[in-house]
């Protein structure tokens, strides 16, 4: 939050007819609030609140034993509590000062419809509503003030993207070289090769890449394992999904997925689902480009619906089993809008400064096949941007 423009936030509160934004956390239950104030790694074991009113100075409400350890660079005055009664008294004073029936934004979403922003537990909501306030979702505030990339973050994304793009190309080439030598690499070997490339380039990741062969490519969250070592042979389909970021505290992720065939002539069925998936991906990007030209702001669900309708038109509606895309930030799955009208109906707006993936997939594990094609999109002021190569043909790994 130290990097957040508090006056700009307060102007946004007025524009949205909100009286305050109340951030709350206990034991990391609300990672959005923790990230907003830059509290990762700080030892905070008691409940804390951070109130930004539409007018006036922000207030930190923190337990007495953690008053000294709460970072001093978080803007606002400090107020302490010790007993549960003093906590309730302090909350009553802070919320009462906002006026009757104040509208207060929190990390909450009605009916939990967007669980990525449903961070505050029901008991705390009951407590706060008992003071007469109306709790509304902070979804658009989170997007505007926590999820939009600045110039340095965009640069970090592009740097990471260049590395993982090259690593993916090198991985396919390594498979081809092994086959030309008469060798049979395994999924885990190629996964390790990619991790070595990340380390050499100074990147980090929250999870090792996915290298998935044949039916494994038909499992969207397949994990290679030494317990089930799977060879990559001529004639196999290989899906590689890899994501990483620089090690800077504000660096953001890059995340792509490509598919190859170990040979010169992919089977017709693989080509069919590749074409349908690529067309769906391109339809999603085209919808964003068209909206920009027409000066319209889309919601996340609208892009998903465009992509999903394309897949359905090709007869694979039941084989596309996940959302079209996810928000990208300092976590590979960020807090911003997702492209989703399947798992959720994401009504958050796709505003300039956001980054997210477009990654439709068609999964046929019963046929030993799966295709997912993933690009990252950044919504610049002059329109959506893709800074990686876009896969137009199956990689021929030969």
Q: Which residue has the higher pLDDT, 229 or 111?
A: 111
Q: What is the share, in percent, of the chain residues with pLDDT greater than 70? A: 99
pLDDT average, residue stretch 8-15: 97
pLDDT average, residue stretch 216-241: 95
For the cut 60, the answer to whether the pLDDT of residue 141 exceeds it is yes
d(C-alpha 304, C-alpha 166), whole Å: 28
CA distances 339 to 143, 276, 302, 345, 388, Å, are 14, 18, 7, 9, 19
* Residue spans per domain, the chain: 6-146, 148-396
For the cut 90, the answer to whether the pLDDT of residue 6 exceeds it is yes
pLDDT average, residue stretch 13-23: 97
pLDDT average, residue stretch 262-268: 97
Q: Which residue has the tokens 């306030």?
A: 133
| Chain segment 46-91, per-residue pLDDT in tens | 999 999 999 999 999 999 999 998 999 999 999 999 999 999 999 9
pLDDT average, residue stretch 297-301: 98
What is the structure's pLDDT at 1? 38
Q: What is the share, in percent, of the chain residues with pLDDT greater than 90? A: 95
**N residues, the chain:** 398
What is the structure's pLDDT at 43? 87
Helix (H, G, I), strand (E, B), or coil: what is residue 283? helix
At residue 228 the predicted structure's pLDDT band, cuts being 50, 70 and 90, is confident
pLDDT average, residue stretch 298-319: 98
d(C-alpha 309, C-alpha 361), whole Å: 13
pLDDT average, residue stretch 142-163: 97
For the cut 60, the answer to whether the pLDDT of residue 195 exceeds it is yes
What is the structure's pLDDT at 229? 86
Is residue 157 within 8 Å of residue 378, measured between CB atoms? yes
Is residue 325 within 8 Å of residue 339, measured between CB atoms? yes
At residue 150 the predicted structure's pLDDT band, cuts being 50, 70 and 90, is very high
pTM > 0.85: yes or no: yes
The class (CATH top level) of 6-146 is alpha beta
Helix (H, G, I), strand (E, B), or coil: what is residue 372? strand
Tokens representing residue 308 in the block: 């999903």
What is the structure's pLDDT at 3? 57
What is the structure's pLDDT at 74? 93
pLDDT average, residue stretch 319-344: 97
What is the structure's pLDDT at 2? 42
Q: Does domain 148-396 have CATH number 3.40.50.300?
A: no
Q: Which of 29-43, 318-332, 356-370, 375-389 has the lowest mean pLDDT?
A: 29-43
For the cut 80, the answer to whether the pLDDT of residue 4 exceeds it is no
Spatial CA neighbour of 59 closest among 74, 72, 47, 77: 77
Spatial CA neighbour of 241 closest among 264, 217, 263, 261: 217
Helix (H, G, I), strand (E, B), or coil: what is residue 339? strand
DSSP symbols for 106-142: ES--GGGSSGGG--S-HHHHHHHHTTTPEEEE-HHHH
């Amino acid at each position: 939050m130290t990097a957040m423009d508090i006056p700009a936030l307060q102007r946004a509160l007025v524009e949205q007819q909100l009286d305050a934004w109340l951030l709350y956390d206990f034991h990391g239950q609300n990672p959005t609030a923790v990230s907003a104030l830059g509290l990762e790694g700080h030892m905070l074991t008691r409940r804390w609140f951070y109130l930004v009113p539409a007018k006036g100075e922000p207030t930190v409400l923190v337990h007495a034993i953690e008053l000294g350890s709460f970072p001093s660079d978080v803007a606002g005055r400090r107020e302490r509590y010790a007993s549960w009664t003093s906590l309730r008294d302090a909350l009553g004073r802070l919320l009462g000062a906002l006026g009757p029936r104040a509208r207060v934004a929190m990390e909450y979403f009605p009916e939990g419809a967007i669980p990525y922003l449903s961070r505050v537990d029901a008991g705390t909501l009951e407590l706060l509503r008992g003071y007469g306030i109306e709790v509304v979702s902070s979804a658009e505030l989170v997007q505007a003030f926590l999820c939009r990339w600045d110039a340095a973050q965009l640069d970090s994304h592009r740097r990471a993207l260049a590395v993982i793009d090259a690593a993916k190309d090198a991985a396919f080439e390594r498979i081809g070289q092994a086959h030309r030598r008469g060798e049979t690499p395994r999924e885990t070997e190629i996964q390790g090769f990619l991790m070595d490339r990340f380390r050499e380039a100074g990147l980090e990741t929250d999870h090792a890449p996915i290298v998935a062969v044949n039916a494994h490519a038909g499992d969207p969250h397949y994990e290679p394992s030494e317990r089930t070592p799977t060879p990559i042979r001529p004639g196999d389909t290989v899906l590689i999904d890899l994501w990483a970021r620089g090690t800077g505290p504000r660096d953001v992720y890059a995340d792509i997925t490509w598919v190859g065939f170990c040979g010169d002539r992919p089977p017709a069925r693989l080509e069919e689902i590749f074409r349908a998936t690529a067309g769906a991906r391109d339809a999603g990007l085209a919808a964003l480009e068209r909206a920009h030209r027409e000066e319209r702001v889309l919601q996340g669900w609208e892009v998903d619906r465009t992509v999903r309708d394309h897949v359905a038109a090709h007869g694979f509606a039941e084989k596309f089993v996940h959302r079209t895309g996810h928000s990208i930030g300092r976590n590979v799955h960020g807090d911003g809008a997702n492209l989703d009208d399947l798992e959720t109906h994401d009504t958050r707006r796709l505003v300039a400064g956001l980054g997210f993936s477009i990654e439709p997939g068609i999964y046929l594990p019963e046929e030993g096949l799966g295709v997912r094609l993933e690009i990252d999109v950044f919504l610049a002021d002059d329109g959506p941007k893709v800074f990686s190569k876009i896969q137009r043909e199956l990689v021929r790994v030969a």
